[in-house]
């Protein structure tokens, strides 16, 4: 479990900012049909930072119901307050989720000892498997490999999403954790190399747009066909960069809107729609890959 291609799913919203559950269901079916191995609901890409608890929980509840057990669902449960993270975990533990994804506390800048206490407390609160999430580019605080190794002793802490983009971190962590501890890339641009160096999968933003290709990359890596993994990744590598030219999930939402997968690209403030030059860049890439009709005026 928790290996292969997991999409860091966006949370679709209408023009009034309400969650569009019809669009969410369409996206989930798109991923199931495309071979995505699992779904991460209400994570960073799902705008968890601006979802009130009630909405956050409902998004996860509906995602579980809409998948119907077809693929595993991991629920974002992170917070920079340990008490809030525990509350979210306890509220979602009865929804049928397969796992939790919990980020290093942001803004607080906790010490390594603080991270250990934080995650152990969350893992103690339920029996749901917990995946740690290290993304120092967003949180500032950086969870070190030795800290991951210490946390891996907890029976409910089963993996790590590493979004550092540093393959050396993977190599440093691998010998310190149990063999069955799942190591997932959280950085699309380096995910192929991560898989080729022994990583088990990816929690991918790019998979929102190209789920079949990301799944195929993971399948190739699992089979040891690293040459094919690299060929496929090279074909879509431009997306790994274009989807991050503005803060995530601004660009994935715009791309899905242009593809007709969602009816609105609306985001929750303080995020807003992309600048015109960003729109043109991603739209050109979508046209190049035949994901939208080519503009006949060009």
Cα 240 to chain centroid distance, Å, stands at 13
* Contact in structure between 249 and 267 (CB atoms under 8 Å): yes
* Contact in structure between 36 and 7 (CB atoms under 8 Å): yes
Tell me which of 133, 253, 257, 258 is the catalytic residue. Answer: 133
Q: Which two tokens stand for residue 24?
A: 């969410």
Q: ∠263-202-36 over CA atoms, to 5°?
A: 50
For residue 201, list its beta bridge partners. Answer: 4, 184
* Contact in structure between 78 and 133 (CB atoms under 8 Å): yes
Is 45 annotated as a binding-site member? yes
Tell me which of 161, 230, 258, 261 is the catalytic residue. Answer: 161
Report phi then psi at 182, rounded to 5: -85, 130
Q: ∠185-111-102 over CA atoms, to 5°?
A: 40
Question: Can you tell me which residue has the tokens 């960069």?
Answer: 241
Spatial distance between the Cα atoms of 43 and 100, rounded to a whole number of angstroms: 10
Question: Can you tell me which residue has the tokens 């993270």?
Answer: 85
Runs of H (alpha helix) within 112-244: 112-125, 136-139, 145-151, 167-173, 191-196, 211-222, 226-242
Q: Is 107 tagged catalytic? A: no
**Active-site annotation, residues:** 133, 161
Binding residue ranges for pyruvate: 45, 203
């Amino acid at each position: 479990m928790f290996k292969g291609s997991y999409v860091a799913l966006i949370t679709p919203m209408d023009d009034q900012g309400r969650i569009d559950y019809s669009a969410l269901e369409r996206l989930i079916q798109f991923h199931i049909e495309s071979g995505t191995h699992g779904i991460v609901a209400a994570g960073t890409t799902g705008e968890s930072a601006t979802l009130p608890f009630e909405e956050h929980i409902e998004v996860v509840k509906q995602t579980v119901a809409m998948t119907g057990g077809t693929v595993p669902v991991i629920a974002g449960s992170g917070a920079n307050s340990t008490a809030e993270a525990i509350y979210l975990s306890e509220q979602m533990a009865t929804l049928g989720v397969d796992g939790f994804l919990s980020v290093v506390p942001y803004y607080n800048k906790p010490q390594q000892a603080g991270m250990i206490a934080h995650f152990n407390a969350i893992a103690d609160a339920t029996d749901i498997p917990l995946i740690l999430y290290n993304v120092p580019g967003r949180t500032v605080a950086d969870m070190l490999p030795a800290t991951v190794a210490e946390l891996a002793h907890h029976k409910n802490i089963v993996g790590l999403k590493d979004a550092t983009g540093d393959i050396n971190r993977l190599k440093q962590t691998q010998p310190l954790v149990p063999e069955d501890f799942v190591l997932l890339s959280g950085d699309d641009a380096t995910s192929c190399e991560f898989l080729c160096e022994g990583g088990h999968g990816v929690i991918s933003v790019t998979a929102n747009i190209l789920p079949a290709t990301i799944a195929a990359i993971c399948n190739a890596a699992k089979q040891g066909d690293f040459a094919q993994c690299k060929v496929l990744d090279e074909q879509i590598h431009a997306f790994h960069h274009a989807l991050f030219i503005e803060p995530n999930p601004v660009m994935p939402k715009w791309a899905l809107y242009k593809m007709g997968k969602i009816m609105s690209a609306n985001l929750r403030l303080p995020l807003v729609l992309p600048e015109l030059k960003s729109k043109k860049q991603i739209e050109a890439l979508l046209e190049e890959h035949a994901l939208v009709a080519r503009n006949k005026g060009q």
